[in-house]
A and B are shown apart, each in its own frame.
Chain A
Amino acid sequence: MTKTMAMEKMLNKADLAAWMGKLETHQLFAPMLEDEGVWNYAPVVKAADVALDQPNTVRPPKDFVFPQRETLYRFEQVRGEAPVLTETLPDPQPSVVFGVRPCDSRGLVRQDIVFTKEFDDPYFQGRRAKTIFVGQACKVPPSPNCFCNSVGGSPSSEDGLDLLMTELDGKYHVKAVTQRGADLLAKGGALFKEASASDKAAVAKAHESAKAHPQRPIKELGKVAGALKQNFDSKAWDEMAKACIGCGICTFLCPTCHCFDINDEVTCSSPCKGERVRTWDTCQFPDFTMHTSGHNPRETLGSRLRQRVCHKFQYFTENHDMPQCTGCGRCISLCPVGIDIVSVVERLGQP
C-alpha cells in the first residue's frame, strides 16, 4: 500500500461508535469474545461489544485475505466433453478490521510477499485490496510469550496497517499510514481532532514504554539464519520435537504461515460437478510432503519442526531479508505441549 504523509488525529473513546457508524459502506470487524472464552474477530453488530484492549485473538487476521477455505473455480464436465470452468474470484464487500496488533499486521506484509512474488494470486489480492486494517498498538504485551521486539517489530509497528490506533487515557490517537487509511479517517469528520504536539509526545512516550516492556529475547537476529544452517544436522531437532504432537495449531494460527492444499470437492459425480478448493495446510502434517509412493522427505517430527523454524528464520530471511515470524507468540501460547520457538531459536539459532 502506498504510504502517505503522516496524518495524526485524536478520537474520544466514546466516539468510536459514532465513527464506526459512519463507515456503513464497509463491513466492520473487531475482536470479540466468543461464548467459549475465545477472542476472535467477528462482525461488529453493536459498537459497544468491541473491546480493543483485550488479549490478542486466537485466529490471526490473515483470515480476511487468505481465508481457510477458498473456492478457486467451479467445474462441470459431461463425460467425454469439454468441462465448463467458472472462475470464482472473490468480490468481498469492502471491510475494515479493527484491533489488529502490530505483529499481526506485519504478518500481512509477509503474506503480501508470498502472494505476489513470481505469480500473482488474484484471490489474495482481491481480498487484500478490499480490506482496511486498523491497528491497535500494544501498551503491554498481550501475552507472556510476545517477542515482537526481537524480530524487528515493535508494539507500535505500522507495517502492513492502514491506520494505527493508540489508546491514551480516554482517547485514541489515530495515525493514518496509507491513503485509504486517511480516507477512512476522513469519514469520521469532526469526530477527530488534530493531534496536538503534546498528544504526539504522549503517544511517542506510550510507544516507547511499551517497547521497553520486557519481552522474551532472541539475541542476535542477524546471525540466526547462519546458525540454523550450521545446525541443520543437529540431533537437537529430534530432541526438541519429542513433545510435539504434530498438530497444526502453531502453523494454522500463525499470522505469517501461508501453506495450503488444493482439492476437488465433488457435488455430483455424473455429470461431474464440483469446486476446486484451497484450504490451509501445514508443514507439521506428515502428508504435507509425502509422495504417493510413501516416500516422505520430512517424515519425522524433528524434521518438521526444523522446517517450520528454518523456514521462518533462515529460508525466508535468505530470500526476503526478514524473518517470517513477527513475534506474536501464538505458536508458543497455543502449542498444547509447550514447544517454544524462542527456545528453539535460542538453542539452535545462535552462533
Chain B
Amino acid sequence: MSHNAYLPKLGRIAAIKDEVPGNRAIKTYQIEFVSGDGFEHDCGQCAMISVFGKGESMISIASAPHVTGYKQFSIMKTGRVTTALHDLNVGDIVGVRGPYGNKFPVKDWKGKNLVFIGGGVGLAPIWPVIQTALHHKGSYGKVSVFYGGRTSRDLMYKADLDKMREQADIHLSVDAKEDGWKEFVGFVPSNVKDKAPSPDNAIAITCGPPIMIKFVIQNLKELGFTDDNIYTTIENKMKCGIGKCGRCNVGKDYVCVNGPVYSWAALKELPPEY
C-alpha cells in the first residue's frame, strides 16, 4: 500500500486552538499519526489534509522539523474542505499525505540574520523556519519577525510571539488605529520600511496575501536586499500534490513539486501566474 502516493495516512487531531475568529477564521491543529508511521518534513513543505467525503486541501506544515509527535497546521476557513476541517473536534481523524514540495534552504542560512515578514495566515508557512532558527540558537544571526493583520483580532500565534520577544525582534502591526494598540499602525510593508532591517548578511522570508508580498518585496529591495536573498512561497491551486494533475503548473514548474518556496530571483523567471 505504502507506494500509492494518493493514499493518505491517518492522523488524529490531538489539539485545536482558535487563532482568529470571524468570517475567515483560523484554527491551529496538532495532528498526530494514528499508526506511528508518519513522515519527516523540512521547513516549507506541505501536506494534503483530507476530510473524507469533502476532499483534500494542501496545507503548509507549520511545526518545525525538530518537533516530533505531531504536525501542526494553521488553517483558514475558506471553502468546502477547510470549513469541514473547522467543524471537526479533537479526536477526529483526517487523512494526511506528504510531505510535498521543496523547502527553505535553511541550512545555507546559518550565521545570517533572518528577517521574517508575514501577513494573516501567511505566518504559518514561515513559522517552522522561525522555530528552527530559534531552536538552533547561535547558529543563526539576529531574528526579526514582522507580522501584521487587519485588526489585532486577526493576528495568530499571539501568545507564542509574545513569548518569543526575548529571543527575537517582534514587530507587530494592525492596518488601522485601534484602542489599546501600542505597536505599529499601518500595513506590513510600511512597518518593514519604518523599521528598516539591514540587508547586510540577511535573508528576508515573506509570506502573506499576494498584494502584501508585492509591496514587501518592493520595500525590501529599496532597503538593499538582493533578489536571491528574498524568499517567499506561492500558493497555486492543487489537487494531487505530486506533479500530475497539472493544476499548479506555472511555466516549467509544478508548484507542488518545484515550489512552493522560491527566491525572488527564481520566481521572477516564472510567468506571473500565481
**Chains A and B touch each other in the complex, with CB atoms below 8 Å apart:** yes
Tell whether, in the assembled complex, residue A259 and residue B93 are in contact, meaning their CB atoms are under 8 Å apart: no
- The answer to whether B244 touches A114 (Cβ under 8 A) is yes
29 A-B residue pairs with CB within 8 Å? A73-B7, A83-B52, A87-B4, A118-B243, A120-B3, A122-B3, A123-B6, A232-B271, A260-B244, A264-B52, A264-B53, A272-B52, A274-B53, A278-B245, A281-B245, A281-B246, A281-B247, A283-B249, A288-B247, A289-B247, A289-B273, A291-B237, A292-B82, A295-B210, A297-B273, A297-B274, A307-B273, A315-B249, A315-B252
A274 contacts B251, C-beta separation under 8 Å = no
Known: A82-B34, A85-B7, A292-B78. A121 touches B244 (CB 8 A): yes
Q: Does A311 contact B (CB under 8 A)?
A: yes
Is there contact, CB below 8 Å, between A80 and B91? yes
Complex CA gap A232/B8 in Å reads 38
Tally of chain A residues near chain B (CB < 8 A): 53
Q: Which residues of B contact A292 (CB under 8 A)?
A: 78-79, 82
Give A contacts to B, CB under 8 Å: 72-73, 75, 77, 80-83, 85, 87, 89, 114-115, 117-123, 232, 258-264, 266, 269, 272, 274, 276, 278, 281, 283, 288-293, 295, 297-298, 303, 307, 310-311, 314-315, 318-319
B119–chain A nearest beta-carbon distance, Å: 14
Name the one of A119, A266, A281, A291 contacting B242, with C-beta atoms under 8 angstroms. Answer: A119
With A75-B52, A82-B93, A292-B78 known as contacts, the answer to whether A260 contacts B7 (CB < 8 A) is no
8 nearest A-B residue pairs (beta carbon): A259-B246, A292-B79, A119-B242, A297-B273, A75-B52, A272-B53, A315-B252, A119-B5
Which of B54, B92, B237, B244 is within 8 Å of A258, CB to CB?
B244
Measured CB to CB, the residues of B under 8 A from A are 1, 3-8, 10, 34, 52-56, 78-79, 82, 89, 91-93, 95, 210, 235-237, 239-240, 242-247, 249-252, 257, 271, 273-274
**B-side binding surface: helix, strand, loop or mixed?**
loop
Within the complex, the shortest CB–CB distance from A101 to chain B, in Å, comes to 24
Taking a contact as CB atoms under 8 Å apart, the answer to whether A259 and B55 are in contact is no
Measured CB to CB, the nearest residue on chain B to A123 is B6
Q: Verify B239–A89 contact, CB threshold 8 A.
A: no
Residues of A within 8 A of B92 (CB): 80
B53 near A77 with CB under 8 A, answer yes
Please give the distance in Å from A80's CB to the nearest CB on chain B.
6
Known: A259-B246, A264-B55. A118 touches B10 (CB 8 A): no
B53–A303 CB distance below 8 A: no
CB of A253, distance to nearest CB on chain B (Å): 16
Tell me the nearest residue of chain B to A296, going by C-beta: B237
